[in-house]
Structure 1
Amino acid sequence: MNATSPARLPSRSRGRWTLIALFGVFFGAMALAGVLRFSGWQPTSHRNTGQLLQPPADLRALPPTLADGQPYPWNPNDRTWRILVAPSASCTSECVTLSQGLGKVWQLFGHNADNVEILWLGTPPAEVQGMPALRALRAQPDLRAALPAVDDAAGTPVYVIDPNGFVIMRYAPGFDMAGLRKDLATLLKLK
C-alpha cells in the first residue's frame, strides 16, 4: 500500500512543473543570449560608427615625420589616440570643413583633449593651422599607401590610430562627426 495520500499528488505534480518551468526559463534565456551573441547582434549603444579594421593596419614600421622635419614617435606610454587625415592634393573646401569639424570634436573632449591629437598628412588648410591638437606631417607616400581605402572617390576618409601606431578604425567620407566623438570617447576610457 502506498503511504502517499491522494491530496499530496497534485502538490507534488505542481512542484515538478514549477521546477521544469524554472529550468526552461533559465536555459531558454541562455540559449537566446547565445543565439544573439553568435549571430553578431549588438545593442545600438555598443556599435561603432566607424568601420572597425580587421586586421588593423600597422604603422609602427612607418614612423611619420612632422612638417618641420622632426620625427613623430608613436610613444605608447603617453596613451595618446590620433585622428589621421590623409587628403588628396585636390582637396580644398571639403578639407576646410573637415578640419573645422575635427577641431570642434577635439574641443568637446574637454579634459581628455590632451590625449587626442589630429594628424594631417600634408599641408593642412590655413584656416586651422593654429589648432593646438593639429600636427602637420610631411606627405609620405609609403604612409599614405598603408592606409586602407585611402583613395576614396567619394572624398577624404578619416582614421583613428591607437597609442601603439595601429590604424583601428576608418570613417568613410561624409561621416557624422558625432559618431567619431562617441567612438573616440569610448576608446579614451580604455586605460
Structure 2
Amino acid sequence: MKNHPSTATRAAKGARSQVRIIGGRWRGRKLQFTEVAGLRPTGDRIRETLFNWLTPWLGGARCLDLFAGSGALGIEALSRGAAEVTLIEKHPQAAENLRGNCVQLKADDARIIQADTLVWLANSSPDQPFDIVFLDPPFSSDLLQPCCELMQKPGLLATGSLIYLETDRYQPLPEISPTWELLREKTAGQVSYRLYRVS
C-alpha cells in the first residue's frame, strides 16, 4: 500500500486536485485547483443538501462567495441558475485557478476578486445587495466573527437575503445578528452547516 502524503505536505508542494460540479448546466464538469493551505472544498454530500435548501431562491440570484477557494460553492450556484457570482479569494494561485476554470466554463457572470475578505468587506460598496452569501472560511482561522460583523454594513444584504455558514462541528458559533433567522442546520462528519435568512 502506498503512503499518501498529508494534506499539509500536498499543499506545500502545490499538488493539483479537482472537485466536481454536481448539478445544473455544468453538471459533471470538474474544477481544477492547486492545494494551498486552508483550502477545503465543501464535499459533494453537503453541497447537494445545501443546494436543495437553496433551490427556491437560486434562480436569478446575486451571489457572493467570501472564501471562494476551489469555487465549489459559487460556481455551483451559477451552474444551477444564479444570475451572477462574486468570488473573493486571497491566495494568488487559487484566484488564478478560479479565473482559468471560469474561462473554460465560459462563466461570464462570475467575477473573481483577489483580495483579503475582511479588507474587501470593509471597503466594498456593491451597487445592489447580494441575495445569497457563502461564508466558509478556513476552519483554523478566526475569521467568522469579524466577517459576520462586517456583513452588517448597509447595502451588502437586503431583507430576505440568505447566508450559508459552514464551520467545524466543534467550533463555537460566532455571535449572530438578531436579524439573522436560522432556517436550516445540519452536521455531517466534522462539518456543521447552517442557512440563515436576513429578517
Select the structure that is richer in helix. 1
Larger radius of gyration: 1
- Pick 1 or 2: higher relative contact order, CA cutoff 8 A, min separation 6: 1
TM-score, normalised via structure 2 length: 0.28
Select the structure that is richer in strand. 2
